[in-house]
Amino acid sequence: MKKIREWLWSEPETHLLSEMSLMENIIYGINGPVVTVKEARSFSMMEMVYVGNERLVGEVIGITDKFTTIQVYEETTGLTLGEPIYGTGSPMNVTLGPGIMSNIFDGIARPLKEIAQESGTFIARGSAAASLDQEKVWDVTVLVKEGDELVSGDVYAEVPETESVMHKCMFSPKIGKATVTKVYPNGKYKVNDTVVEVKDANGKTHELSLCQRWPIRAARPVTKRVSSTIPLITGQRIQDTLFPITKGGTACIPGAFGSGKTMTQHQLAKWCDADIIIYVGCGERGNEMTQVLEEFGELIDPRTGRLLTDRTVLIANTSNMPVAAREASIYTGITLAEYYRDMGYHVAMMADSTSRWAEALREISGRLEEMPAEEGFPAYLPSRLAEFYERAGYVHNLNGTEGSISIIGAISPAGGDFSEPVTQNTMRFTRCFWALDKSLAYARHFPAIDWLASYTEYFNDLEDWYNENLGEEYAVYRSTVNNLLQEENKLMEIVKLVGADVLPDDQKLVIEIARVIRVGYLQQNAFHPDDTYVPIEKQRDMMKIIVHLYNKSSQLVAASVPLDGLLQTGLYERVIKMKYEIPNKDIEKYVADYIDDIDKTVASIVSA
């Protein structure tokens, strides 16, 4: 208890409980993670509270004049009626400051590494570990001088947080406007040390340390949101080419179990060209988080040459951890994302899986005996989903920089049926839909993104970017590839009935070239050192080769040369394997070789 007290006092900006509230508020009822207090008047909605002698973290979710309802973020086994409840006077907060990057937190931003040191292999309740390392010394450069005016969002100090992230300490939007009255010299400071003192408009002095606190359910303010015209390059061919997402965009990945949602999320987290990755494991497997921890610590970011962990934050609230904290984990994640966005970074947030988050809402709602809507989910599910996805976007920050948050949410629809409420509501608020298909996964076609059911609304926004950076032919290649796949789908209806042998050569060509696209282009091997991440220029050139193959073959077919002759040369198989043969760098020579091979092979057929 003493330790908690000390910690509470040491936290900045936390109001403290009065001794009176200590006496007054006691547990009256318990039902799973929901605890009620009788006739309490001192609590406010969404206030963070400590429940019981073990100080379990909780949050006020309902108030009437008779009862206050609290959801508890930890196991409630062993709580006794009459145990005290302490208010903190402020909503659920996270501490934002250096030390977030490369770290792993639980759903309410407690550091799991420290908890492991404190309580061992299993997570004990009532841990009081502070989010950020209180003892670590940071190399601080102060960027303001005495007399400077600070407004919300202004950067007053810089800290190299990891090798690839410069952490910027920003003037909290909570204070407003102030004048710098004292500046400490550059040097080594701990996270709670004061580096700048300011006086606000009311003459009150604030000491600014390296960190600040922010309520997780409130979006951080920005100057304005703009529409984005830059793609988030993922290095995954099907996503980048057919269904691209912008920086600041939103996408969802629904899929039945075993269709590769998590694998797709991992690939995006590893290779997409965001500056910061926030990976929220929300109600998923513990081993998956361990895998991310171990793998990202060894992999190198192809753009910066630094370790992937240097730009990654993990929030792990696995499926067996308390359900209320699962509900909070999404908000914790997005708040961290906004904080780094405010520094001028492009942030990508992966949420795996939002269905588990929705189920947490349903479970809490059920305990509160609220009237359920569809499939037992509460009626406010769509508005909560909208609130979350709308925190994404490309923005102009208060301090004049530009930043973005892209959200990629996985969905685990019950029975793989996309008509269930979470998938349907998410589709309304996201603009990019990567549907995973079970039958593709069964045939080990990965990524198992169904090119017929998926869509993106961003392609038109990005067209200028493509024309400028990849040439105008890029859009042409893309639409050719897309059309061939659509046409193949139509032809497959016939093939299923009568077999492929009866088709005329021009249709047979579509089937064959679509096979090249499916196997050679859309299938991507996440375990191959080159194929796991493919630069966008190589994607363009691979499409160029395929389209060239198609055009040349069409000429043959138009000249009534039988297609079988060409197929027997093995040219198509060679093109299919080009993803392994063409390296990721200095590709011009290889591409020319393939074009040359196609021309020569076709010519040899014609002359024969």
Q: What residues numbered 355-374 form the site for other proteins, per CB under 8 A?
A: 356, 359, 362-363, 366, 369, 372
Considering only the stretches 28-36, 157-165, 175-183, 224-232, report the one whose residues sit in contact with other proteins under the rule CB under 8 A: 28-36
By CB under 8 A, what part of segment 441-470 binds other proteins?
Answer: 442-444
Peptide bond into 160 cis (omega under 30): no
Considering only the stretches 24-32, 200-208, 462-470, 596-604, report the one whose residues sit in contact with other proteins under the rule CB under 8 A: 24-32
Query: Taking CB under 8 A as the rule, does residue 499 contact other proteins?
Result: yes
Nearest to 313 by CA among 190, 189, 139, 131: 131
Nearest to 102 by CA among 133, 124, 128: 133
Chain centre distance of CA 100 = 16
Closer residue to other proteins, CB minimum distance, 31 or 486: 31
By CB under 8 A, what part of segment 30-89 binds other proteins?
Answer: 30-31, 36, 38, 75-81
List Cα–Cα distances, 382 to 244, 422, 428, in angstroms: 25, 8, 9
By CB under 8 A, what part of segment 412-441 binds other proteins?
Answer: 412, 414-417
By CB under 8 A, what part of segment 269-328 binds other proteins?
Answer: 281, 283, 285-287, 289-291, 293-294, 316, 318-321, 323
Considering only the stretches 144-152, 250-258, 338-346, 400-408, report the one whose residues sit in contact with other proteins under the rule CB under 8 A: 250-258
Considering only the stretches 88-96, 188-196, 267-275, 569-577, report the one whose residues sit in contact with other proteins under the rule CB under 8 A: 569-577
The answer to whether 405 and 392 have CB atoms below 8 angstroms apart is yes
The tokens describing 387, both together, are 């609130």
- Contact map string, positions 109 to 128, toward other proteins, x by CB under 8 A: ---xx-xx--xxxxxx----
DSSP output for 558-571: HTT--HHHHHTTTH
Closer residue to other proteins, CB minimum distance, 157 or 313: 313
Per CB under 8 A, the list member of 257, 486, 490, 585 interacting with other proteins is 257
Considering only the stretches 163-171, 231-239, 304-312, 570-578, report the one whose residues sit in contact with other proteins under the rule CB under 8 A: 570-578
Per CB under 8 A, the list member of 527, 560, 589, 607 interacting with other proteins is 527
The tokens describing 355, both together, are 């269905």
User: Least Å distance between CB 345 and other proteins?
Assistant: 25
Considering only the stretches 239-247, 380-388, 411-419, 483-491, report the one whose residues sit in contact with other proteins under the rule CB under 8 A: 411-419
By CB under 8 A, what part of segment 121-180 binds other proteins?
Answer: 121-124
Query: Taking CB under 8 A as the rule, does residue 570 contact other proteins?
Result: yes
User: Least Å distance between CB 358 and other proteins?
Assistant: 10
Strand, coil or helix: what is 325? helix
Closer residue to other proteins, CB minimum distance, 132 or 210: 132
User: Least Å distance between CB 371 and other proteins?
Assistant: 9
Which alpha helices (H) appear in 286-353, and where do they start and end?
A: 286-296, 323-342
User: Least Å distance between CB 496 and other proteins?
Assistant: 7
Dihedral sign for Cα atoms in the order 282, 287, 290, 295: negative
Per CB under 8 A, the list member of 18, 66, 452, 580 interacting with other proteins is 580
User: Least Å distance between CB 555 and other proteins?
Assistant: 24
Give the residue carrying structure tokens 């973290």. 57
Distance, in Å, from the CA atom of 546 to the CA atom of 438, rounded to the nearest integer, reads 27
The answer to whether 288 and 325 have CB atoms below 8 angstroms apart is no
Q: What secondary structure letter does DSSP report for 215?
A: E
Residue 341 CB-density burial (10 A; 0-12 exposed, 13-18 middle, 19+ buried): buried
User: Least Å distance between CB 437 and other proteins?
Assistant: 13
User: Least Å distance between CB 306 and other proteins?
Assistant: 22
The answer to whether 500 and 553 have CB atoms below 8 angstroms apart is no
Per CB under 8 A, the list member of 576, 582, 591, 598 interacting with other proteins is 576
Distance, in Å, from the CA atom of 103 to the CA atom of 97, rounded to the nearest integer, reads 12
By CB under 8 A, what part of segment 371-390 binds other proteins?
Answer: 372, 375-376
Closer residue to other proteins, CB minimum distance, 28 or 184: 28
List Cα–Cα distances, 354 to 4, 115, 415, in angstroms: 33, 25, 16
Size of the site for other proteins (CB under 8 A): 74
Considering only the stretches 26-34, 388-396, 397-405, 588-596, report the one whose residues sit in contact with other proteins under the rule CB under 8 A: 26-34
User: Least Å distance between CB 351 and other proteins?
Assistant: 15
Nearest to 397 by CA among 457, 344, 460, 453: 344
Nearest to 197 by CA among 189, 210, 185, 206: 206
Closer residue to other proteins, CB minimum distance, 370 or 473: 370
The answer to whether 336 and 405 have CB atoms below 8 angstroms apart is no
Distance, in Å, from the CA atom of 211 to the CA atom of 504, rounded to the nearest integer, reads 69
Per CB under 8 A, the list member of 104, 183, 195, 582 interacting with other proteins is 104
Starting from the edge strand earliest in sequence, which strands make up the sheet with 149-151, in order? 149-151, 177-183, 196-200, 205-208
User: Least Å distance between CB 68 and other proteins?
Assistant: 14
The answer to whether 252 and 433 have CB atoms below 8 angstroms apart is yes
